[in-house]
Chain A
Amino acid sequence: GNSVTQMEGPVTLSEEAFLTINCTYTATGYPSLFWYVQYPGEGLQLLLKATKADDKGSNKGFEATYRKETTSFHLEKGSVQVSESAVYFCALSRAGGFKTIFGAGTRLFVKA
């Protein structure tokens, strides 16, 4: 079945450090891939998405590239801020808009 695996956290970085959170997926067909962010006590906010192979999703300095050959969608940012401390979820949705399948989440702590 479809599944998402992301690196375990927590990830602790100093402000302005480079961020990578690894995500790999298993899916039939060609799913859409997403990164969502969840701040404490809040719902999920869509961070970025990619709908086909080699697409790069980007938003607020975050980027992820849909790699079908390695079934990966790693999240990267060149310089993280303290305000970006949150839990980051990698997710997939198969074509047609059905349920979204989430990874377990990676908690990011950014220290000043």
Chain B
Amino acid sequence: DTGVSQDPRHKITKRGQNVTFRCDPISEHNRLYWYRQTLGQGPEFLTYFQNEAQLEKSRLLSDRFSAERPKGSFSTLEIQRTEQGDSAMYLCASSPKAGGPLRSTDTQYFGPGTRLTVL
């Protein structure tokens, strides 16, 4: 079990550029989540996939943001026309499929995050 991995760990971009982040969940997990964390705050939910289906999206996810999980394994989060307000840590998490220990699907395991700085 190698844990959740994210790439890149750091990204610096200029305002108006597009950026894409990748998340590889724990291999046997079928649920994948994206969160955004700004300085001094707790993570805020962005979106959630079960296998390849995107089942929930936060109102925080404006039309400049898009997430995909085409084969139900890794996921990408793209931000188009970045703004300085997009600067944050983007966290990915995964959780187990149903059928395991009671409430095991409730527990999310987080990756190290991608820190985005928009200049």
Task: List chain A positions with a Cβ less than 8 A from chain B.
Answer: 4, 31-32, 34, 36, 42-46, 49, 51-52, 89, 91, 93-105
Which residues from chain B contact A89 at a C-beta distance below 8 Å? 42-43
- Bound complex: CA A36 to CA B41 (Å): 13
A51-B48 in contact (CB<8A):
no
B111: interface (CB < 8 Å): yes
A34-B107 in contact (CB<8A):
yes
B112-A99 in contact (CB<8A):
no
Task: List chain B positions with a Cβ less than 8 A from chain A.
Answer: 4, 6, 31, 33, 35, 40-45, 48, 56, 58, 91, 93, 95, 98, 102-103, 105-113
Chain B min CB distance to A24 (Å): 14
Minimal Cβ-Cβ distance residue in B for A49: B107
B110-A44 in contact (CB<8A):
yes
B40-A96 in contact (CB<8A):
no
A32-B107 in contact (CB<8A):
yes
The winner among A43, A100, A104 for most chain B CB atoms within 10 A is A43
A43-B108 in contact (CB<8A):
no
Which residues from chain A contact B106 at a C-beta distance below 8 Å? 31-32, 49, 51, 93-97
- Bound complex: CA A32 to CA B103 (Å): 8
- Bound complex: CA A13 to CA B45 (Å): 32
Determine which of B43, B44, B45, B103 lies in contact with A44 in the assembled complex, contact meaning CB atoms within 8 Å: B43
